């Protein structure tokens, strides 16, 4: 593995290049950036993150379609929709995400927002100082599927570290909501979760670059691999390890040499 000094310089250069609004338009984070109301940003971000597999242009298009079906006012739609309104989502499909999944997401979000004014509450538990990404995501998975009508098939769309998943899309969503800086990309809306506790959203693009840099030696792409990469990123940026996602993902997707 290269020296810490080399890795920090490598990361800082790419973070500075990719962590700026110029790249928002072609990234799924563009969708929540279209809203100003806190709850709309959360809901648009959460649903976009869940749909974030495949080409980024397709992800953006499907998220736009979904939000149009909710009149581009997702919080109001979730709180006040009728049974008739649900028909707007009846034929929504994105790859394996189908009508039954969309309708359960609608049920859960209505259940949650009728009791809480922020989705952050679904990702926190116990004392804030004890927060960890693994425990939070396991807690969220249990909570999300706690309603009696939860379909078994929908579980594949909300992963959990308990089953070894990297939970890439949920960790990406947490980065969007929690990280705070002045660059205009991540929102920093949530204050109960410390940015220092976030982990790297690990997918095949990030994995490829992490292995080339010597950040990842574990063969399996699983939760332990997430922890392995994050451990080194935390050494580089103790207060903000997830900032490395800009460098690793940017290099993996946009730089020909990775």
Count of domains observed in the chain: 1
**DSSP, residue by residue, the chain:** ---HHHHHHHHHHHHHHHSSGGGTTTSGGGTGGG--SHHHHHHHHHHHHHT--S-HHHHHHHHHHHHHHTTT-HHHHHHH--TTGGGGGTT--BTTB-HHHHHHHHHHHHHHHTT-S-GGGGG--S-GGG--HHHHHHHHHHHHT-STT--GGGGGGS--GGGT---HHHHHHHHHHH---SSSSS-----SS-GGG------HHHHHHHHHHTS---SS-SHHHHHHHHHHHHHH-TT-GGGHHHHHHHHHHH-TT-
Given a contact cutoff of 8 angstroms between Cβ atoms, the answer to whether 208 and 258 are in contact is: yes
Weakly modelled stretches of the chain, pLDDT under 70: 255-258
pLDDT digits (tens, 9 = 90+) for 67-83: 999 999 999 999 999 99
pLDDT for the residue numbered 73:
98
Length of the chain: 258
What is the pLDDT, as a whole number, of residue 257? 41
pTM over 0.85: yes
Q: Give φ, ψ of 174 to 5 degrees.
A: -60, -40
pLDDT value, residue 1:
79
Q: For 20-35, what is each residue's pLDDT tens digit?
A: 999 999 999 999 999 9
- Full residue range of the structural domain in which residue 231 is found: 4-254
Distance, in Å, from the CA atom of 145 to the CA atom of 56, rounded to the nearest integer, reads 28
């Amino acid at each position: 593995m290269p020296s810490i000094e080399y890795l920090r310089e490598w990361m800082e250069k790419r973070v500075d290049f990719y962590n700026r609004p110029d790249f928002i338009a072609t990234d799924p984070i563009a969708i929540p950036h279209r809203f100003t109301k806190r709850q709309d940003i959360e809901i648009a971000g959460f649903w976009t993150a869940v749909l974030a597999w495949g080409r980024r242009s397709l992800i953006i298009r499907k998220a736009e379609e979904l939000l149009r079906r909710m009149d581009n006012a997702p919080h109001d739609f979730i709180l006040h929709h009728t049974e008739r309104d649900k028909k707007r989502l009846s034929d929504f499909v994105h790859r394996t995400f189908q009508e039954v999944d969309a309708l359960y997401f609608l049920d859960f979000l209505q259940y949650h927002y009728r009791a809480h004014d922020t989705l952050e509450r679904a990702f926190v538990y116990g004392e804030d100082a004890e927060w960890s990404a693994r425990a939070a995501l396991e807690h969220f998975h249990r909570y999300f599927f706690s309603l009696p009508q939860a379909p078994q098939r929908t579980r594949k769309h909300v992963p959990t570290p308990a089953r070894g998943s990297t939970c890439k899309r949920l960790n990406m969503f947490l980065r969007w909501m929690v990280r705070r800086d002045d660059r205009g990309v991540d929102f920093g809306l949530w204050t109960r979760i410390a940015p220092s506790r976030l982990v790297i959203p690990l997918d095949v693009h990030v994995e490829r670059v992490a292995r080339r840099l010597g950040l990842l030696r574990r063969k399996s792409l699983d939760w332990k691999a997430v922890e392995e990469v994050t451990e080194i990123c935390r050494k580089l940026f103790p207060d903000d390890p997830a900032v490395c996602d800009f460098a690793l993902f940017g290099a993996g997707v946009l730089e020909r040499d990775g």
